[in-house]
Structure 1
């Protein structure tokens, strides 16, 4: 998927997520998301924060506070930002939906899978629909599969072949995992919420690796 198409999907997803969030009750904002240890409110804060690159000094300070642990740093920054009023988080998502500003170490391909996955992190626990174009989900899955440390174990897909059952798409070689492309994307990013939609002789291996990493 090319740059312009990717940014169009990112904008559409940000707006769709903002629409979903705008209708939530206070209790729903506190619902645990699919993202470990984050509430819906925290995921929304992460998405609102993404188009607002922080000064290098702020990032360095946050990195030191997190003792060099990337995931801990992101968690600390996000949870702190989640203290903003929820109406402000929604308005920021809408305001910056078309923004192409990026945190320093990332790129639009990473933002594509990030916004798609975090949208599902919110939508699935709340049992709300949040459709995503399957071509975009496939591009996101291919990108996420290449991401290793410090985010995920870079060897989690060794000897595994992913094959979508709802579109013509496959990746990797080895023991197969089959299922809808969205279920594959969530699995690749360490989420097991749609595991019942997946089959294949590689599934148990992948689930074991995910559990071990967490």
Structure 2
């Protein structure tokens, strides 16, 4: 997917790319095999991919983060979150959400979402528990 986007971008000017992006505003189309929860997860997680390196605080709405985390946790593909983290007890401190069993990893549901989608560097400073120390080693 990334290579396809890079090839496409190489054939367009910045102005053309921005115009293409603007043309999709308001679109309700989704790629085959995805759900609205997938799009929500993309928006939340990729927003953090941009904000964190820039040092910008961009808080996720907790309810939206919980919905996205449920989507990432249950289907095993592509993140395999339940497989990777099922031997830990993940627990949200700001929502009624928990999964797995084992050493505790707890924190805001937004940090758990980042962890489950492979953003350990962004997630770990906001998490606590015995499981966090195990993940760092």
**TM class by smaller structure:** 0.7 to 0.9
Return the alpha-carbon distance in structure 1 between the equivalents of residues 40 and 9 of structure 2.
Answer: 22
Q: In the alignment, what sits opposite 1:197?
A: 126
Paired residue secondary structure (1:155): helix
Normalised by the length of structure 2, the TM-score is: 0.79
Find 1:170's aligned residue among 94, 97, 113.
97
Once the two structures are TM-superposed, the CA of residue 99 in structure 1 deviates from its matched residue by: 1.5
Q: In the alignment, what sits opposite 1:127?
A: 55
* 2:113 maps to 1:185: yes
Q: Is the 8 A contact 2:66 2:97 kept in 1?
A: no
Structure 1 segments of 4+ aligned residues over 6 angstroms from their partners = none
**TM-align CA RMSD:** 2.3
Q: Which has the higher contact order (CA 8 A, sep 6+)?
A: 1
Q: In the alignment, what sits opposite 1:117?
A: 45
Q: In the alignment, what sits opposite 1:61?
A: none
Q: Which runs of 5+ in 1 are unaligned?
A: 1-73, 209-214
Q: Is the 8 A contact 1:157 1:206 kept in 2?
A: no
Distance 1:95 1:184, change over 3 A: same
Normalised by the length of structure 1, the TM-score is: 0.54
Return the alpha-carbon distance in structure 1 between the equivalents of residues 84 and 118 of structure 2.
Answer: 10
Q: In the alignment, what sits opposite 1:143?
A: 71
Q: Is the 8 A contact 2:115 2:124 kept in 1?
A: yes
